[in-house]
Structure 1
Amino acid sequence: MAEFVLVAGAWLGGWAWDEVVPPLRAGGHGAHPLTLSGLADKRGLPAGQQTHVQDIVDEVERRELREVVLVGHSYAGIPVGQAGMRIGDRLARVVFVDSNIPADGESFVSPWPEGRAMVEASIAETGGFWAPLAAADYAGQDLTEEQITRIVGGSTPHPGATLTEPAVLERPLGELPATYVKCLLDGQQPNPDVAEVLATSRRWRLVTMNTGHWPMFSRPRELARILVEAAGTDAA
């Protein structure tokens, strides 16, 4: 059985996986939702991008996990991808859920020309943090009003340094066994950097979901099923 380490994107904590964890555990798998430093119940802890990478590695090692499936949503794909390279033979697969992916020497904001200025301005205005989205920003993403209220109410400002510090990769990301989950309401095609790896790596698979960018809220059982199927994918 797989051991899933679940890491949500910007502003969110381990609580974001509350509806995904039960079906994973019901299937006999381990499910370990992780809150990264500086967010949710770990708010106030200093954090850079490498802090988040170490958070993930430490969780795997502390629990002595094997057959690990690292799951990174949105921003979290960046530290999850790096952590996947650092846990050695403990790793079974990485699942990127509508996420960014790391590129050596590049940051979260590097490939996002227009968004970079917006994020950096928010960080400057809010004392080093990226301010959470407002309820209106979640429109058109297959979320109920109740789900949007829950996301907005649980969000905390995101540590800015994690967004501007560069990733560190020891080898090409395409060498990792990985599944990329594309949520179609957030764009019909993966970002160009993701598409390039999908086209060139024999170890990557693409799966689509007809939902928005936050499937752990909008389609938790479907996402859990996809995670289990990804864990059983032949990585050769």
Structure 2
Amino acid sequence: MNSNKLILIPGAWSDKTIWEPLETELEKLGIESNALTLDGLKKKDHSKGVDLKGHVDSVVAFLDSQDHKQNYLVGHSYSGLVASMVADQVPEKVIGLVFIEAFLPEDGKSLLEIAGLDIVEETTEIEENGGFWLPPTSDELSSQPFLTEKHIDYLTNNMVGHPGKTVTDKAELVGKNLQSIASFYIGGNLSASVKNNPNFPQIDFHKIEGGHWPMLTMPRKLSEILRNIMHTNS
């Protein structure tokens, strides 16, 4: 079995169950993983009173609780910020960063800014929805490529309102630790914002055509890419 471990951090609106198809495939390859649910995103107990720092601190605390020191942090979507800020704080616990269809942090910018969303519109909607950033509707999901009806049903029934403060808080990077950590991007394309992010000058791109949720749509292919990354970075 590979001696390295994958720490799977879900993106916005999701808990750890979104990783289950991928974890099944990783287990077949003998790859150990831990999927996390970030604070405030449990389906039956989600809370708006969580900020970006709280998400980062909870992942750091999880790493501190583990004897295993060779961890790959895998961040999907929003959690590209979380994984990066964790690695920036405790680089000695992270052997690599893997981003899956993720946003990468820019110091002093929020997720909403990095994503190029209308800040006034999004923050107004968060306020109107009791402090939560609402997930996409089934109609919105139906326009997403590669999602089957089964995928849409899963997402619709399991996604919850995301604590709004986590996406309006500014990302904070304490130093230049990220530049010395191996980094990998898995997705349909490598955007200009990712290519030009100074925190990841040597990011390694792996293409997968699985839409925004390849852990659901192409778990076997994704597991193979992750295995290859871990092999080449060992």
Question: Is it true that 1:169 corresponds to 2:166 in the alignment?
Answer: no
2:83 counterpart (70, 80, 84) = 80
| 1:89 CA drift (Å) | 2.3
Moved more, 33-42 or 226-235: 226-235
| 1:126 CA drift (Å) | 0.5
- CA separation in 1, counterparts of 2:217 and 2:83? 22
Look up the match of 1:211: 210
Matches within 5 A, 1:62-77: 62-77=65-80
Q: May I ask how many residue pairs the two structures share in their alignment?
A: 229
Moved more, 208-217 or 189-198: 189-198
| 1:113 CA drift (Å) | 4.4
| 1:114 CA drift (Å) | 3.9
The 8 Å contact of residues 40 and 155 in structure 1, kept in 2 or not, is answered as no
Look up the match of 1:228: 227
Distance 1:87 1:232, change over 3 A: farther
The 8 Å contact of residues 5 and 31 in structure 1, kept in 2 or not, is answered as yes
Give secondary structure in 1 for the equivalent of 2:135: coil
- CA separation in 2, counterparts of 1:155 and 1:11? 5
Report the residue type matching 1:178 in the other structure.
Answer: S
Moved more, 172-181 or 191-200: 191-200
| 1:90 CA drift (Å) | 2.2
The 8 Å contact of residues 105 and 114 in structure 2, kept in 1 or not, is answered as no
2:150 counterpart (125, 146, 149) = 146
Question: Is it true that 1:58 corresponds to 2:58 in the alignment?
Answer: no
| 1:85 CA drift (Å) | 1.9
Distance 1:63 1:197, change over 3 A: same
Report the residue type matching 2:137 in the other structure.
Answer: A
The 8 Å contact of residues 123 and 160 in structure 1, kept in 2 or not, is answered as yes
Give secondary structure in 2 for the equivalent of 1:61: helix
Distance 1:125 1:199, change over 3 A: closer
Matches within 5 A, 1:15-164: 15-41=17-43, 43-44=46-47, 46-138=49-141, 139-164=143-168
Report the residue type matching 2:25 in the other structure.
Answer: P
Distance 1:66 1:200, change over 3 A: closer
Look up the match of 1:192: 192
The C-alpha deviation readout for 1:24-67, integer Å capped at 9, x for no partner, is 22322221010000102451373100111112111112122221
The C-alpha deviation readout for 1:68-100, integer Å capped at 9, x for no partner, is 010000001001111112233221111000101
| 1:111 CA drift (Å) | 3.0
TM (norm. structure 1) is 0.89
The 8 Å contact of residues 92 and 231 in structure 1, kept in 2 or not, is answered as no
Give secondary structure in 1 for the equivalent of 2:112: coil
Report the residue type matching 2:181 in the other structure.
Answer: L
Please, which runs of 5 or more residues in structure 1 have no aligned partner?
none
- CA separation in 1, counterparts of 2:91 and 2:200? 22
Report the residue type matching 2:21 in the other structure.
Answer: E
